[in-house]
Amino acid sequence: MTDQAKRPAGVTALAIALGLLTAYLWGRGALALASPKVRPAIEGTTLRYRLTMDVYGPFLMGGTWGVIGWGLFRLREWARQAAMIFIIVGAGLLVPYFVFANSLFQWSVLLAALEVVIRLTIVWYLFRGSLAQHFSKPARPV
* pLDDT tens figures, 48-88: 666 667 778 889 999 999 999 999 999 999 999 999 999 99
Higher-confidence position of 137 and 14: 14
Cα distance between residue 67 and residue 65, in whole Å: 6
pLDDT for the residue numbered 39: 53
Cα distance between residue 35 and residue 37, in whole Å: 5
Higher-confidence position of 138 and 75: 75
pLDDT for the residue numbered 21: 95
Burial class (CB in 10 A: 0-12, 13-18, 19+), 66: middle
**Which pLDDT band holds residue 4 (cuts at 50, 70, 90)?**
very low
The pTM for the full model equals 0.79
Answer whether residue 10 shows pLDDT above 90. yes
Cα distance between residue 129 and residue 76, in whole Å: 15
Query: Which SS3 state, helix, strand or coil, does residue 35 take?
Result: coil
Distances (CA, A) of 105 to 50, 83, 125: 32, 31, 30
pLDDT for the residue numbered 119: 94
Answer whether residue 41 shows pLDDT above 90. no
DSSP 99: H
pLDDT for the residue numbered 1: 43
Break the chain into its structural domains and give their ranges.
3-132
